[in-house]
Every structure is written in structure tokens, then in C-alpha cells.
Structure 1
Amino acid sequence: MNVTALPPVTDHETWQRELDALRVREKAATRELDAVAAQRRRLPMVELPEYTLTGAEGPVRLADVFQGRSQLITYHHMWFEGKQWHCPGCTGWTSQFTRLEFLDDYDARFVIVTQGPIDEALAYRAKVGNRMEWYSTAGGPFGADMGAPPAAGFAVNVFLRDGDTVYRTWHTDGRGTEQLGHFHGLIDVLPFGRQEDWQDVPDGWPQRPTYGHGNGPEEIARLYGPPNGG
């Protein structure tokens, strides 16, 4: 990257004063996020019919995807039928989740659901070195009912289980998924940020088209997949 501009250089006292002013806004944003989370915890929920997905071992009821836990998060991974590589954003974003066992202490799981057939989905998971557990909703209504129909976008859903009854408690898509990972948080504290053309930046800052950054699925496979692709 050719750097065409740099932040202004100043003395420590001026830098600290500017940082302190920014910190006021950062802390206000943190408190607002706390308030949003509190409102989320007070949301009502909707009872779902019984859904059947397909996992590595075959058909499985949605209630059993919980594997005995009471809470479940699903990331709905975009799938391009007949293609070798699937959504770059979904592939790259989900690659960050390599250690999810901490959710056991919160009585929860986090899994991927996709519209792709399970054998193809598991092969893609292996090819790109994804560490999450995958399920398929191919041929069933679950993905579409949860806001991620075939050949459409990605989504996150959250569910609560009471016995064999499953309730939908929360849903988001688009940029609403950013808060769930460290990917964007780390980039946003860098001096040049995401470098996307929609962002408010000083003159001369490097910018590219939206989604013009990040590793594509081929690069994810090279970095995290099996040696020599197999």
C-alpha cells in the first residue's frame, strides 16, 4: 500500500487532549451498546415449528442441534450453487472462530447453517479450514424462514430451547453481524481503518471499493486449509 497521507504530528499533551475528547464519545458508545444489550435481553420470543436440518451424521431436529444446551446461535453462510468458492465475506468472517468451547460455560453453541447440500458444505468447510460445525438446510424451509433464503444474503439468528420447544429470540443481518467478532473491531482501531470508500476519512487516506479488502476464499484456503489443498 502506498501511503499518500499521514496523521498530523503533535506534542504529547495535544495528543492526549484529543484522545481524551475521543474517549468521551467511545465511552458513551459503550454505554449505548450496554443499553441495547439490555433491551435485547427483554425482547419477547416466538415459538418455532419443528425443523429438520442435516448434519454430518444425517438429519437432525433443530432442538437437537443444541446438543443439550439451552441457547444456540446460527450463522447463515451464503452458498453459491454449483460454484467452487462461496461467499468471500462469510468465508473470511467465520474463519476467525476457532475456539468456541468457552460458550459451554454459558450453556450455548454457535454453528453454521448453509443452503448447500451437507456433503458439499462439509467438503468446503475442510477446504477452507473452517473450525465451526456446519449444518445444511438444503431442501428445507429453515434458512428462508430465518431470513437467509437460497441465493440470498447472510444472517445471524439466536434461539432458546425449553425441552423440545425452540424459540427464536433475535435476528440480524448485514452490518449487524460485525459486533459478534473481532475482525472489524481490530481493523477499526488502525489509523487507516477499513479503507472502504463509504467511510469518512481525511484527504489522501487510502480507500478502496467496499469489500475490496480482506482475503478471498482461495486465500483463506491457502492459509487455513489442508496442505496442498487436500
Structure 2
Amino acid sequence: MTDHDHALPPVVDAATWEHRLEALRAREKAATRELDAIAAERRRLPMVEMPDYTLEGEDGPVRLADIFDGRSQLIVYNHMWFAGQEWQCPGCTGFTSQYTRLEFLDNYDARFVIVTQGPIKEALAYKQRVGNRMAWYSTADSSFGTDVGAPPDGGFAVNVFLRDGDTVYRTWHTNGRGTEQLSHTFALIDLLPYGRQEEWQDSPEDWPQSPTYSRWAASKDIAALYGTGSAGI
């Protein structure tokens, strides 16, 4: 017995199920076409030139243009950082720790990295502690984070940049739930009959629901699964 036994979808015959599925699929296909149209508009956005920032990497100071590592396109996840905290934002930790194979971006002349407000030594130690595989950079001594929507003790963000020689341009930005499209976690969870099980979601009566974020893994739990000394590394 589980706490879900009282919450079950209605049982119907196969023909009825196929009919309902086809109706939903029509909406899903319409959403896909809308996402294609949004991506097309994104490719037509103008851009803004960036200053010549210097960040801190694993091997020392590095210009923003050099973080591209020879590529022309760069995705940056601005990871939340709170000074003095052993465990940083669980949402950022979980979101970025899922990226273990990013080499496919090489075929698209692109790279995907993390930039955080934390000092580089602390950031790299945290990276190892939680089992993160991405390249990390620090903007602790630069205004870069603040200038792209991720100030100290502030929010998280995704920013995209285009490089032309040594000149870097900002082409796109999102934050909040706009980052969900980059994650496979919610895409998989939303396929489940019970979904995310969060209070804000529109679900049938008696469906299991919990306070928002309550089912998210804590950073400490992520570290136990994937970080230093775990079986995941």
C-alpha cells in the first residue's frame, strides 16, 4: 500500500484512451511548433557588446573571450552563491550536477560553463563536494555576475554569448522557470501521472501534493550520491 492508492486515473477501454491521447498529442505538437517559432525568434534577436571582463578560473585569471576556449558560442549558468555557506542553493546544485557529458556542444561550436560569485577555491571545492563535472569560473572580483542578472547573494540566471574575435556579445538571458527548458529533470517528472506533486500545480482532486520544493534533493543529498567519496565518482 502507498499513499497514492486512493488517487488513480479512471480506467477506460483502449479506444477511449487512444482518443484522449490523440487530443492531448495535438496540443503537444502545437506547443512544439510554438517552441520552434520562439527559437526562430531567438536566432533573430539583436545583441549587446560586453566589456572585456576578467574572471578567475581553475588556472588563474581568464578573460571572458578566452572562456569560449576557441569556440564562438558560450552558454553560462550563473550559480547562486552565499558566502560562508557549506551547502549552496539546492536548485542550482541539482540543475548543474546533471550535466555530465557536454562534448556534443563541440559540434555546434559552443561551450557550457558555470560562473559563480564564490571565490574560485571555494567554488572548485564545492564542485568536487557535490560531484559537478562542469567547468567553473568565479566572478567574485568582477562585475560580470551583477551585470548579467546574477549579483552577489542574488538569483541565478542563464546567459548566452557570441564571440567575434576578442569581442563578446550577449545574445540571450533567462532566469526563474525559464531555465527549466534546459533541464531533463522536470521534463521527465512532468510525464508522470502524479507530476511534480507541488501545491501550485493543477492536478485532479486527491492527487498527492506537497509544498513547493519539498521533494527537491538537498545539496547535501546530491553530494552523498555523486560527490567526493561517494559511489558516484
Normalised to the residue count of structure 2, the TM-score between the two structures is: 0.97
Tell me the distance in 2 between the aligned counterparts of 1:228 and 1:19: 42
Corresponding letter in the other structure for 1:2: D
CA shift digits 1:145-185 (9 cap, x unpaired): 00000001100000000000000000000000011121110
Mapping of residues 74-153 of structure 1, within 5 Å: 74-153=76-155
Counterpart CA distance in 1 for 2:116 and 2:89 is: 11
User: Match of 1:199, as an amino acid?
Assistant: Q
Q: Deviations over 1:60-91 (max 9, x none)?
A: 00000000000000000001110100000000
Quick check: 1:210 aligned with 2:212?
Answer: yes
Q: Aligned residue for 1:2?
A: 3
CA drift at 1:215: 1.0
1:228 Cα deviation (Å)? 5.9
Matched position secondary structure for 1:227: coil
* AA aligned opposite 2:217: N
How do residues 216-227 of structure 1 correspond to structure 2 at under 5 angstroms? 216-227=218-229
Flag the 1:31–1:6 CA change in 2: closer, same or farther, 3 A.
Answer: same
Aligned length: 230
Distance in structure 2 (CA, Å) of the matches to 1:7 and 1:36:
33
1:39 alignment counterpart: 41
Separation in structure 2 between the aligned mates of residue 151 and residue 2 of structure 1, nearest angstrom: 38
Provide the rounded CA distance (Å) in 1 between the counterparts of 2:83 and 2:193. 39
For the 8 Å contact 2:129–2:228, the answer to whether it is kept is: yes
Structure 2 letter corresponding to 1:143: G
Distance 2:33 2:230 in 1: 47
Equivalent residue for 1:54? 56
Give yes or no for contact 2:116–2:145 (8 Å, CA) kept in 1.
Answer: yes
| In 2: Cα distance, 1:177 partner to 1:226 partner | 27
Q: Secondary structure at the match of 1:14?
A: helix
Distance 2:183 2:90 in 1: 16
TM superposition shift of 1:139: 2.2
Q: Which amino acid is the alignment partner of residue 213 of structure 1?
A: R
C-alpha separation in 2, matches of 1:143 and 1:2? 44
RMSD between aligned residues: 1.2
| 1:103 alignment partner, SS class | helix
- Extract structure 1 runs of 4+ deviating beyond 3 A: none
Alignment match, 1:183:
185
1:199 match? 201
Q: 2-side partners of 1:212 and 1:116: how far apart?
A: 26
Shift of 1:143: 0.2
Q: Aligned partner of 2:122: which letter? A: E
Whole-angstrom CA distance in 2 between matches of 1:103 and 1:155 = 20
Equivalent residues of 2:55, 2:141 under 8 A apart: no
Superposed displacement of residue 37, structure 1 = 0.2
Tell me the distance in 2 between the aligned counterparts of 1:165 and 1:228: 42
**Structure 2 counterpart of 1:165, from 155, 164, 167:** 167
- Please list the CA deviations of residues 18-74 of structure 1 after superposition, one character each: whole Å capped at 9, or x if unmatched: 000000100000000000000000000001110011000011000000000000000
% identity of equivalent residues: 70
Whole-angstrom CA distance in 1 between matches of 2:83 and 2:229: 26
Which residue identity lines up with residue 136 of structure 1 in the other structure?
A: S
TM-score, reference length from structure 1:
0.98
Assess if the C-alpha contact under 8 Å between 2:76 and 2:113 holds in 1.
yes
